[in-house]
Amino acid sequence: MAKKIKARAKIKNGLIEVKYKVVHPMETGRRKDKSGQLVAEDYINFIKISKNGKDMFTLVPNSTASKDPYFFFKLKGIKGDAITLSWISNTGEKNSSTTKVK
């Protein structure tokens, strides 16, 4: 299943406010499906945030993060900067999204 990243970045009070919602099941491996079988682990375990191609910071969430996690942070920058969120899951799946600051 293709996993989406919804993004928004805008200048507010002199800082870039960035909001990301990552559509991902974040399965812990402990939940059972309707037939009683355990659902396999599938969660994001590495996130990198970049601004204009330069790494700004990384996050290392684990299986306890909620389904469809939401991230909010502020950075110094200007209108037109490109903010990228890239993630890797424990299964090796990868995705990224770049948004321009408005």
Round the average pLDDT of the chain to a whole number and report it. Answer: 95
For the chain, the structural domain boundaries read: 5-32+41-100
Distances (CA, A) of 42 to 1, 31, 38, 49, 53: 12, 11, 12, 21, 28
Q: How does residue 1 score in pLDDT terms, banded at 50, 70 and 90?
A: low
Q: What token pair was written down for 9?
A: 């970045």
Torsion of CA 54, 60, 66, 67, to 10 degrees: 60
Distance between CA atoms of 1 and 13, rounded to whole angstroms? 38
Distance between CA atoms of 100 and 30, rounded to whole angstroms? 38
For the entire predicted model, the pTM comes to 0.91
Q: Which pLDDT tens digit goes with each residue over 45-76?
A: 999 999 999 999 999 998 889 999 999 999 99
Indicate whether 2 pLDDT > 80. Answer: no
Distance between CA atoms of 48 and 85, rounded to whole angstroms? 6
Fold of 5-32+41-100: Immunoglobulin-like (2.60.40)
